[in-house]
Structure 1
Amino acid sequence: MSFEIVEATIPDIQAALDSGEMTSKGLVLMYLDRIANIDKLGLTINSVLEINPDTLFIAESLDVERAVQGPRGPMHGIPVLLKDNINTGDKMHTSAGSLALANSYATKDAFIVQKLREAGAIILGKANMTEFANFMTNNMPSGYSSRGGQVLNPYNISTPTGGSSAGSGVAVACNFCTVSVGTETSGSILNPGNLSSTIGIKPTVGLISRSGILPLSSSQDTAGPMARTVTDAVLLLNVLVGVDESDPAMGTGLGKQCADYTDFLNKDGLRGARIGIPRDYYFEELTEEQLILFNNAVDIMKQHGAVIVDPANIKTAREIKYSSVILNEFKASLNAYLSQLGPHASIRSLKDIIDFNNNHPMETLRYGQTLLVQAEYNTSGTLTEPNYIHDRALDLKLCQQDGIDAVMKEHNLDALLFPADFGARITSRAGYPSIVVPAGYTAAGVPFGVTFSARAYCEPMLIKLAYSFEQHSQFREAPSLKSFL
């Protein structure tokens, strides 16, 4: 009987690899077959942007190493897809989904890619994404890029994929890889995690290195795991965490990283945990069907010992308005990244990207580039604008001190619980961690999740809660992939 790849977890795969039932090379071939037949033919889900040309050689080499020396650890021989804004110093491009950077090669691996390779992971390829992390224009659909086209939601074609780590979430949901790495600035892991019925861990800014990742915001960006189970997401998190002295944000986590986050995979993690629900503001866009799913999730948490504080409203929720932070940081961050590309790179600045798009409008400007133009011509790139400085300070005050910190202290909470990804705006500006977990499906088959959030470096508590809820609910179902009708 052949190995069943659909919904196979990292522990499942490691057991099969150790027993000789399967090889990593065979595993890669199975994923490639699914990518060919489902992602690129048939349903044309379009979540995978590029395949690593060396992936089979890497897999076979790791099989030999396993036989001769034994596995390096849980990620040995596990195929991983990376969002297309994560540098790989190999034969793959890093383009952020853009045609302007379609021929751009990074000179070296991002820090987290180095960590993956050291752990024996197989970099299978790059995942499609919303172009420039959905900061190209105002009306671009989530999951669309000029280079890769539109990613489709495998659960319901009329439903968005969520952005901007759309390909990372959808590829995992469809079993085109074992796990993937996404990035988030404001909801870009939590949103596609919610809409693809996957686990998304958006860590504290500073827990995982951002070096070698094409940026959007120097204050909010972070990479994070996407997986089909909390266990798999945490095994991937273990590998991604590491001290990178070239990323200044990592100094905030000194002494706060854990050696092994699987220590917090506790089935009884909900018992006695105080979880607050910020009902005011964050529930206004919920449909009645989604509200039923959310309340059912809360009932499950209560049944397994959670103390629910409802409501635990965030007093600043309605004060958090438009902020100029990302607009100002984008130009400065992107230009710094582009300046570090190899000597033969033709694109060296945000202005070069805008000019390229203007010279190829049919291919690149289907939805325009209003945000790119605003960032280039309405900001200095020096972060000296008074509105930026004021907005950055206000974001921290409203989202950290007077927002999440205040409500958690007031009610002595271990975590906050948001419907879907609706808390992403406040948690992302705070730089605080969140984990989204499947919580059911609407009658139309659209996934719905709940998000656990907390203060900086509280990943251990969030992992306990997410794992316990997952184990007691088991809501996730694989998409049928037979038809969108």
Structure 2
Amino acid sequence: MNLKPSHRKALIGFVVLMICAAAGAQTPWHEQPIDELHQQLVGRQISAEALTAHFLDRIDTLDAELASVLALDPTALDQARALDEHLAGGGEPGPLHGIPILLKDNIETRDQPTSAGSLALSSNHTGRDAPLVARLRAAGAVILGKTNLSEWANFRGERSSSGWSALGGQTRNPYDLTRTPCGSSAGSGAAVAAGFAPVAIGTETNGSIVCPASANGNAGIKPTVGLVSRTHIVPISHSQDTAGPMAMDLADATRVLAASMGVDPADEATSQRPDWRAEDLLAALDNASLEGLRIGVMRGLSDFHPDVNQAYDQAVAQLREAGAEIIDEVSLEWPDGFWDDTYTVLLHEFRHALNAYLGDLPDTDLSQLDLAALIEFNQQHAELELPWFGQEHFERAEETSGIESEEYLEALARVHAATRADGIDRLLAEHEVDLLISPSGGPAWKIDWINGDHFGGGSSTPAAVSGYPAVTVPMGLVHGLPVGLSFFAGRYSEPTLIRAARAFELQRGAVARPSARPGGTP
């Protein structure tokens, strides 16, 4: 993380201290939901500058052990002052006026480099905002900085460790510093849990929003592919990539998603989105209820820890008590060759998409890079880039034959059939249910750079490969570590998922926030 100079840190701390003293005893700003902060900002009870300074101070003071924030935006306080001046001059506040937001460092912003955690892109300062970021700015958000991530969004090599990048080091879980934050949106998940921003944006190809949200006790939304623009985001897969928010609760995540979505002529997938307004998503929060909903309870989707299964059974009971009709023992089996096909799709799409992204970079030196050049760069800097795991995904992707090849097109058709018509769509129709649920994942495992990740189960694949949405909210704690409950259904079913997940979140009550225990659990 790039820390502020000591004199600036002291100044920020002094400003925060004076503001808090003037305001008297209250819930700390980093524990308040967005709607409460927004009301105070619009009512000019607090300033965007003071709120931004508060979060900058927390990051400067507390992030050294977590390593969740890769770099702070040097213009953050200037952005906040401009918003205060806009409001003081009679300007209309946006729906996110003055709300600080962190971004995963594969999302371009005009004020900072976008590295994907790789030394090869450490100088990738494009001077442009991704359309997603432009929408957040237009809504009044303050871009606070960039979060660390699993390098290349965890699509470089086997035996990788989630949350590790050559540029940012190892991000840790604030519930237990010896454990993983999951990934690849590791820093985004850990930073929100630690109270470094009300919300952070992650990206997902398969599990990279859902898993870190679950492992860090956050709510997260993986939108339908095409609801949010992917332009100027370092890609993996055009059929699966999407960006989405993580926050302390689903209401905050929904408010940010509502401000993020929109059509982008440069991203063809966004042209197929429904004609939603922000109000349509926000109405799902107001209508949060499980009454009348038929919910399919997925079993056997993954091999979860027994205590996760027990927490899942308790969650199902809570859903039933809150008025949902439960259809239990819903199962989905993958056809032979499914996992090989999903990998084939990712390898082909990654090479095509990454080379196109690199070729579009404004920096003429960087724009001459391609996947083959990145492989060579990593070999030349192996002591920094490859100390713990390799680049097998890179090397296999470089050998692919393109997205017009029969091998790719047939694999894509098979995985879409398995997850769509023969998968989620079939289950919804066959069981006459509105949505499906499953544990989001197991409790966070110990960080192990030598052996890499050892997941304790997950349920992200059906929604990820189909391109359909998924919502995760905290389900409870297993041995002091958070685990999430995932809600998923058909394409553009976000309003239904948000309605149900928010109702469960309110029924369940708050889950304990982390204390960042250095010693950890055995």
1:246 is aligned to 266
Q: Distance in 2 between matches of 1:2 and 1:359?
A: 55
Where 1:311 maps in the other structure, the secondary structure is: strand
CA contact (8 A) 1:290 1:442 kept: yes
Residue 21 of structure 1, aligned match among 30, 33, 45: 45
1:53 is aligned to 74
User: How many residues are paired up?
Assistant: 476
Q: Distance in 2 between matches of 1:368 and 1:138?
A: 6
1:355-386 alpha-carbon deviations (Å, 9 max, x no partner): 2212211111112222112211x213x21333
2:294 is aligned to 274
Say if 2:393 is the partner of 1:371.
Answer: yes
Where 1:69 maps in the other structure, the secondary structure is: coil
1:368-417 alpha-carbon deviations (Å, 9 max, x no partner): 222112211x213x213332111100001110001110010011111000
Residues 345 and 12 (structure 1), Cα distance of their counterparts in 2 relative to 1, 3 Å cut: farther
Offset of residue 74 of structure 1 = 2.5
Q: List alignment gaps of at least 5 residues for structure 1.
A: none
Residues 484 and 7 (structure 1), Cα distance of their counterparts in 2 relative to 1, 3 Å cut: farther
CA RMSD of aligned residues (A): 1.7
Q: Distance in 1 between matches of 2:236 and 2:321?
A: 41
1:311 is aligned to 329
Q: What is the identity, as a one-letter code, of the residue corresponding to 2:61?
A: N
1:21-75 alpha-carbon deviations (Å, 9 max, x no partner): 32111111111111111112xxx10000011011111111111112222442230
Offset of residue 254 of structure 1 = 4.1
2:17 is aligned to none
1:400-411 aligned within 5 A: 400-411=420-431
Where 1:399 maps in the other structure, the secondary structure is: helix
1:304-453 aligned within 5 A: 304-316=322-334, 320-322=338-340, 323=342, 324-346=344-366, 348-366=369-387, 367-376=389-398, 378-380=399-401, 382-421=402-441, 422-443=458-479, 445-453=480-488
1:96-141 alpha-carbon deviations (Å, 9 max, x no partner): 0111101111242111111011111101000100000100110110
Q: Distance in 2 between matches of 1:172 and 1:333?
A: 29
Offset of residue 259 of structure 1 = 4.4
Say if 2:104 is the partner of 1:83.
Answer: yes
Where 2:502 maps in the other structure, the secondary structure is: helix
Q: Distance in 2 between matches of 1:468 and 1:484?
A: 35
1:63 is aligned to 84
CA contact (8 A) 2:176 2:516 kept: no
1:127 is aligned to 147
Q: What is the identity, as a one-letter code, of the residue corresponding to 1:464?
A: R
1:192 is aligned to 212
CA contact (8 A) 1:267 1:467 kept: no
CA contact (8 A) 1:277 1:312 kept: yes
Instruction: State the identity %.
Output: 39
Q: What is the identity, as a one-letter code, of the residue corresponding to 1:426?
A: P
Q: Distance in 2 between matches of 1:164 and 1:476?
A: 23
Where 1:225 maps in the other structure, the secondary structure is: strand
2:234 is aligned to 214
Offset of residue 187 of structure 1 = 0.6
Q: List alignment gaps of at least 5 residues for structure 2.
A: 1-23, 442-457
Say if 2:317 is the partner of 1:299.
Answer: yes
Residues 483 and 12 (structure 1), Cα distance of their counterparts in 2 relative to 1, 3 Å cut: farther
Offset of residue 319 of structure 1 = 6.6
Q: What is the identity, as a one-letter code, of the residue corresponding to 2:506?
A: Q
1:39 is aligned to 63
Residues 99 and 453 (structure 1), Cα distance of their counterparts in 2 relative to 1, 3 Å cut: same
Q: What is the identity, as a one-letter code, of the residue corresponding to 1:314?
A: L
Where 2:330 maps in the other structure, the secondary structure is: coil
Where 2:492 maps in the other structure, the secondary structure is: coil
CA contact (8 A) 1:418 1:450 kept: yes
Q: Distance in 1 between matches of 2:110 and 2:369?
A: 18
Where 1:277 maps in the other structure, the secondary structure is: strand
CA contact (8 A) 2:358 2:370 kept: yes
1:12 is aligned to 36
Offset of residue 223 of structure 1 = 0.4
